[in-house]
Amino acid sequence: MSLHRLAETIAARAGADPGASWTARLLSDPERAARKFGEEAVEAVVEAVRADRERLVAEAADALFHLLVMCAARGVTLGDIEAELARREGRSGLEEKASR
């Protein structure tokens, strides 16, 4: 599944019953969505440190899903994120960080 299809699926769940859809539940509670993303991100870090490739792939997928849900819960789209990445394209990471 592409990130675009995943983002479309997440957006489609926005009107679903939070009692019947995990995604809808997270979208209706942005703070919960943020906490869940944080949990999944930490789990990905743990697997990266452990060098467990298979588990890292799984946790990275969970983290990406929950990142997109968290952003959607606050009105940030994948398109918004892509636009920011495009703005940064061609700039040195060191240069970009120094400009902040």
- What domains are there in the chain, each with its CATH number? 3-87 (1.10.287.1080)
What's the rounded Cα separation, in Å, for the pair 81 and 78? 5
> CA of 58: how far to CAs of 11, 22, 64, in Å?
22, 18, 10
Closest CA to 10 of 57, 60, 85, 78: 78
pTM of the model: 0.88
What's the rounded Cα separation, in Å, for the pair 26 and 4? 19
Q: For the segment 36-84, what is each residue's pLDDT rounded down to a tens digit?
A: 999 999 999 999 999 999 999 999 999 999 999 999 999 999 999 999 9
